[in-house]
Structure 1
Amino acid sequence: MNLYTSKTEATAKRAFEAAGNGDEALVRHLIDHSFQVEDCDEEGNSLLHYAVKGKNQELVAFLVERCSLDPTWSNQNMVTPYDLAKGTPIEAYFKTVCGFGLEDCYRNPVQRGMHPDPSIVRVGEDYYMVNSSFIYFPGIPISHSRDLVHWNVIGYAVTDPKWSEENLGKLEGGRGFWAPDISYHNGRFYICATLRQNDDAPYIQTQMVTSSEFPQGPYETPVVHNVLGIDPSIFTDDDGKRYMLVNRGARIMEISEDGKEILSEPSLIWYGHSGHAPEGPHLLKKDGYYYCFLAEGGTGKGHMITVARSRNLFGPYEPCPFNPILHQKDEMGVIQCCGHGKPVQTADGRWFVVYLCSRLIDSKWGMLGRETCLDEITWTLEGWPVINQGKGPSYMAPLPFPQKTGAITDIPNQEVWLTPRTRDEKRIWEEEDGTILIRGDKKDLCEKDCRSLLVKCQPDFKFDVEFVMDLPEEENEEFTSDAGVTLYYDENTYIKFGVTKDEVFLTEYIDNAYVRTEKKPYAFHGPVTFRVETDGLKRTFLFNNSFLWQWTDVTSICSEGLVKGKRFTGAMYGVYVNGSNLLRWRQHSKIQ
Structure 2
Amino acid sequence: MSKDLIRNPVLRGFNPDPSIVRVGEDYYIATSTFEWFPGVQIHHSRDLRNWRLIGRPLRRPSQLNMMGDPDGCGVWAPCLTHADGRFWLIFTDVKRYGRTTVGGASGASLRDFHNYLVTCETIDGDWSDPIHLNSSGFDPSLFHDDDGRKWLVNQLWDHRPGRNRFAGIVLQAFSVAEQRLVGERKVIFEGTAIGLTEAPHLYKRDGWYYLLTAEGGTGWGHAATLARSRAIDGPYELHPDTYLLTARDRPHAPLQRAGHGDLFETADGETYIAYLCGRPLPGRGRCVLGRETAIQKLTWGADGWPRTLDGSGDPTLETPGAGLVDQPWPTTPVREDFDGTTLPIDFQWLRTPYPETIFSLTARPGFLRLYGRESLGSVFTQALVARRQQAHCYSAATRLDFEPAHFQQAAGLVCYYNGSKLHYLHVTHDDEAGKHLRVMTCTPDSPQADSFTAPIPLGAGPVDLRVEVDFERLRFGFRQAGGDWRWLPEVFDASILSDEATAPGAPNFTGAFVGMACQDMSGMATAADFDWFDYQERDYVAQWPA
Is contact 1:146-1:407 (8 Å) kept?
A: no
Structure 2 counterpart SS, 1:196: strand
1: CA distance, partners of 2:239 / 2:456: 65
Paired residue for 1:207, among 104, 115, 128? 115
Q: Give the corresponding residue for 1:335.
A: 255
2: CA distance, partners of 1:414 / 1:491: 24
Q: Are 1:509 and 2:442 counterparts?
A: yes
Q: Are 1:440 and 2:338 counterparts?
A: no
Q: Which amino acid aligns with 1:109?
A: P
2: CA distance, partners of 1:433 / 1:212: 33
Deviations 1:78-105 (A, max 9, x none): xxxxxxxxxxxxxxxxxxxxxx43x443
2: CA distance, partners of 1:271 / 1:217: 38
1: CA distance, partners of 2:230 / 2:259: 25
Aligned counterparts, 1:367-446, within 5 A? 367-391=288-312, 392-406=314-328, 415-422=345-352, 423-430=354-361, 435-441=367-373, 443-446=374-377
2: CA distance, partners of 1:180 / 1:257: 19
Q: Are 1:154 and 2:54 counterparts?
A: yes
Q: Give the corresponding residue for 1:49.
A: none
Q: 1:149 to 1:439 in 2, by over 3 A?
A: same
Q: Give the corresponding residue for 1:469.
A: 400
Structure 1 counterpart SS, 2:15: coil
Q: Are 1:500 and 2:420 counterparts?
A: no
Q: Which amino acid aligns with 2:85?
A: G
Cα deviation, residue 274, structure 1? 3.3
Cα deviation, residue 516, structure 1? 2.2
Q: Which amino acid aligns with 1:400?
A: A
Q: Which has the higher contact order (CA 8 A, sep 6+)?
A: 2
Cα deviation, residue 415, structure 1? 2.4
Q: TM-score, normalised by structure 2?
A: 0.83
Deviations 1:491-530 (A, max 9, x none): 2222210111321101102359653211233234212111
Q: 1:403 to 1:163 in 2, by over 3 A?
A: closer
Q: Give the corresponding residue for 1:489.
A: 417
Q: Give the corresponding residue for 1:216.
A: 124
2: CA distance, partners of 1:533 / 1:259: 54
Q: Which amino acid aligns with 1:520?
A: P
- Structure that is richer in helix per residue: 1
Q: Give the corresponding residue for 1:347.
A: 267
Cα deviation, residue 488, structure 1? 0.9
Q: Give the corresponding residue for 1:364.
A: 285
Deviations 1:194-227 (A, max 9, x none): 2212157986122111111111231111122333
Unmatched 5+ residue regions in structure 1? 1-99
Cα deviation, residue 338, structure 1? 0.3
Deviations 1:43-65 (A, max 9, x none): xxxxxxxxxxxxxxxxxxxxxxx
Aligned counterparts, 1:169-318, within 5 A? 169-199=67-97, 204-247=112-155, 248-257=167-176, 260-318=179-237
Q: Give the corresponding residue for 1:585.
A: 530
Cα deviation, residue 424, structure 1? 3.0
With 355-364 and 138-147 compared, the bigger mean Cα shift is at 355-364
Paired residue for 1:529, among 464, 469, 488? 464
Is contact 1:359-1:366 (8 Å) kept?
A: yes
Is contact 1:479-1:581 (8 Å) kept?
A: no
Aligned counterparts, 1:102-113, within 5 A? 103-113=3-13
Cα deviation, residue 427, structure 1? 3.1
Cα deviation, residue 265, structure 1? 2.9
Q: 1:141 to 1:524 in 2, by over 3 A?
A: farther
Cα deviation, residue 239, structure 1? 1.3
Is contact 2:41-2:56 (8 Å) kept?
A: yes
2: CA distance, partners of 1:336 / 1:434: 42
Is contact 2:478-2:486 (8 Å) kept?
A: yes
Q: Give the corresponding residue for 1:562.
A: 502
Cα deviation, residue 430, structure 1? 3.1
Cα deviation, residue 470, structure 1? 1.5
Is contact 2:384-2:518 (8 Å) kept?
A: yes
Is contact 1:271-1:278 (8 Å) kept?
A: yes
Q: 1:205 to 1:321 in 2, by over 3 A?
A: same
Q: Give the corresponding residue for 1:139.
A: 39
Paired residue for 1:553, among 487, 493, 497? 493
Q: 1:125 to 1:278 in 2, by over 3 A?
A: same
Q: Are 1:572 and 2:503 counterparts?
A: no
1: CA distance, partners of 2:181 / 2:4: 46
Q: Are 1:456 and 2:387 counterparts?
A: yes
Q: Which amino acid aligns with 1:438?
A: L
Count of aligned residue pairs for this structure pair: 483
Is contact 2:266-2:322 (8 Å) kept?
A: no
Cα deviation, residue 447, structure 1? 2.1
1: CA distance, partners of 2:52 / 2:311: 29
Structure 2 counterpart SS, 1:285: strand
Q: 1:507 to 1:314 in 2, by over 3 A?
A: same
Q: Which amino acid aligns with 2:438?
A: F
With 209-218 and 552-561 compared, the bigger mean Cα shift is at 552-561
With 260-269 and 207-216 compared, the bigger mean Cα shift is at 260-269
Q: 1:400 to 1:526 in 2, by over 3 A?
A: farther
Supply the RMSD in Å over aligned alpha carbons.
Answer: 2.5
Q: 1:250 to 1:413 in 2, by over 3 A?
A: farther
Q: Which amino acid aligns with 1:458?
A: Q
Deviations 1:141-197 (A, max 9, x none): 1111111222111121210146533xx111101011111100111111111112212
Cα deviation, residue 407, structure 1? 5.8
Cα deviation, residue 581, structure 1? 2.1
Is contact 1:290-1:310 (8 Å) kept?
A: yes
Q: 1:234 to 1:524 in 2, by over 3 A?
A: farther
% identical equivalent positions: 31
